[in-house]
Structure 1
Amino acid sequence: MKIAALQSPLYWQDREANLAYFSDLIDSLGEADLLVLPEMFTTGFSMAPEQIAEAADGPSLRWLRDMSQQHNIAITGSVAVEENGNFYNRLYWVSPESESHYDKHHLFRMAGEHTHYAAGSERKIVEYQGFRLCLQVCYDLRFPVFCRNRNDYDVLIFVANWPEPRRHAWSSLLTARAIENQSYVIGVNRVGEDGNGINYSGDSVILDYLGQPLAQTIAHTPAILTAEISFADLQGFREKFPAHLDADDFELR
């Protein structure tokens, strides 16, 4: 599977500007099977859902569908959504054949996200081109139990608006998640400054199941990361080093 990940600045709370920006980027993109966008890619990480949230079948989802069909590509990124009286930080997954979503489970209380958005209750794993992909959002990265591989995924995706002062944690935890879960990991973060004056260094990366980078970016620089991942290579490594057979059983509640 060929992966493309977009590390980019975001126009603050301006859906139309962001969609136009990403449309141009995608039009110039080379061949890819999966495209990963940052967290809240239409607005930036905003705690004003009353102003920015869309309906569950809103314009951003329709745009994702259009991009997927036009370019014959799977695409994922999160947006603020209002549904049944609640706001969610919703990670959409759209491919030419299927559609799904994951509502962010761990809400970043240090920014007050838990007071503005409702938490999702379920993990979400989708299947595409023979891979099983687990969808996660930003702060979920800090909680290894929630994203523990129970032999149910092959690729772990984190989309984020992860601030620069914690960039070491971002990079370290992505590497740890790849190693401990024997999984490819895609971590896509934004760059630039948001409307609250918070800076983001990006540090996006695509890692293999050993935690080694297949593609990485220069900090603070808009970039398109590309890498090709192999299910046969992953399966071969898991057979030679089956650490998952000694993992502890547990249940999520």
Structure 2
Amino acid sequence: MSELRTTLVQADLRWEDIDANCHLLDEWLQEVTTSDLIVLPEMFATGFTMAPERMAESMQESRAVAWMQNTAQSHNAVVTGSVAIAEDGHYFNRLIWARPDGTMATYDKRHLFRMGEENEHYAMGNQRALVSLNGFNILLTVCYDLRFPVWLRNVDCEYDVMLCVANWPSARRLPWRTLLQARAIENSSYVIGVNRVGDDARGLNYSGDSMLIDYRGDALIDEAPDRAFVRTGVIGRQSLEDFREKFPVHHDADRFTLHP
């Protein structure tokens, strides 16, 4: 059965400096020799900027998106993380799923963090996004989405992995860790959560706490907080299917229709 080698990149980002962040990540990723999926934090190229009129670029002109495509090709791995994107007169916090063959999938963040005024600067997405890799179906999510279990509900085991990239401040690290594990348990799925570390220009501190979690809620990767790291873990599909067969909680889940 399939395996998925997943690399978590918990980085200390440079504020609103796209080129510096891409260069920094190039250096960090030199140590990654074999991976299927490389996961970067939310807004990895700029930090959690509320100045998209200055920092957002179009998909065609985005330096960060071009870097992701080149990195995916050079590492022969999918590269994912979110970027500030300008499109049709709006700005989006857009998760990019860059494949080695040059194709991409995208997900626009649904839940915009109003306490940080994100909803005043960015447009809301209205479509869930599922992608596939190595036989795993993966749900793409961004940061604040994690607090909304209806949006993330795994109906009929449609996904095997929930992926969440974030800029989640250390003041709320307990909810971050708790919600990642809760989403894994309630959805009988693996969860990948990648957060940044360091301080940003707004005075917020980030503790990281990036995790790779299995369907029981047990952490397969759970590094010490407050430091940058690159770490690769392997998840297996057979063990997930065995668990779902022995503990088929999904058969008793409530049925509903979601209208974004």
Distance in 2, Cα, partners of 1:184 & 1:225: 16
The one of 187, 191, 194 equivalent to 1:185 is 191
Give the counterpart letter for 2:249 in structure 1: A
Unmatched 5+ stretches in structure 2: none
What is the match of residue 66 of structure 1?
70
Unmatched 5+ stretches in structure 1: none
1:16-46 CA-to-partner distances (Å, cap 9, x unmatched) read 0000001111122131111000000000001
User: 1:205·1:225 contact (CA, 8 Å) conserved in 2?
Assistant: no
Check if 1:110 corresponds to 2:115. yes
1:244: Cα distance to partner?
0.3
Give the number of equivalent residue pairs.
253
Distance in 2, Cα, partners of 1:30 & 1:220: 25
Spell out the pairing of 1:209-228 with structure 2 (5 A cutoff). Answer: 209-228=215-234
1:186-236 CA-to-partner distances (Å, cap 9, x unmatched) read 000000000101000001100001010001111101111221000111011
Check if 1:79 corresponds to 2:80. no
1:135-188 CA-to-partner distances (Å, cap 9, x unmatched) read 000000000000111121000000000001100000000000000000000000
What is the match of residue 158 of structure 2?
152
What is the match of residue 240 of structure 2?
234
User: 1:135·1:157 contact (CA, 8 Å) conserved in 2?
Assistant: yes
Distance in 1, Cα, partners of 2:69 & 2:229: 23
The normalised TM-score by structure 1 is 0.98
What is the match of residue 25 of structure 2?
22
Check if 1:34 corresponds to 2:40. no
RMSD: 0.8
Give the counterpart letter for 2:158 in structure 1: D
Distance in 1, Cα, partners of 2:104 & 2:55: 23
What is the match of residue 248 of structure 1?
254
Q: Which runs of 4+ in 1 moved over 3 A?
A: none
The normalised TM-score by structure 2 is 0.96
- SS for the counterpart of 2:49 is coil
Distance in 1, Cα, partners of 2:75 & 2:137: 21
Distance in 1, Cα, partners of 2:31 & 2:212: 21
